[in-house]
Amino acid sequence: MSYGFLDIASTPSVRAAQAEMGIDQFWSDFSGDRKMDRFTEGEKAFIAERDSFYMATVSETGWPYIQHRGGPAGFLKVVDDRTLAFADYRGNRQYISTGNLAASDKASLFLMDYPRRARLKIYAHVEKLALDEDPAITALVTDAGYRGKAERIFKVRLEAFDWNCPQHITPRFTEKEVAAAVRPLQERLAELEKENAALRAGVGAA
Residue 168: CB atoms within 10 A of its CB come to 7
Q: With pLDDT > 70 as the criterion, what percentage of the chain qualifies?
A: 94
Per-residue pLDDT reduced to its tens digit, 149-176: 899 999 999 999 999 888 889 999 988 8
Q: Averaged over 112-130, what is the pLDDT?
A: 96
Which pLDDT score is estimated for 29? 64
Indicate the domain borders of the chain. Answer: 1-33, 36-172, 173-206
Which pLDDT score is estimated for 61? 95
Q: What is the 3-state secondary structure (H, E, C) of 59-88?
A: CCCCCEEEEEEECCCCCCEEEECCEEEEEE
Torsions phi, psi for 177 (to 5 deg): -65, -40
Instruction: Provide the pLDDT confidence category of residue 76 given band limits of 50, 70 and 90.
Output: very high
Better-predicted residue by pLDDT, 80 or 2:
80
Per-residue pLDDT reduced to its tens digit, 184-205: 999 999 999 999 998 888 776 6
Q: Does domain 36-172 match CATH 1.10.287.1260?
A: no
Better-predicted residue by pLDDT, 11 or 78:
78
Contact 89, 75 (CB under 8 A): no
Q: How many residues does the chain have?
A: 206
The C-alpha atoms of residue 101 and residue 123 are separated, in whole angstroms, by: 14
Better-predicted residue by pLDDT, 147 or 205:
147
Which pLDDT score is estimated for 47? 98
Taking all residues of the chain, what is their mean pLDDT, rounded to a whole number? 90
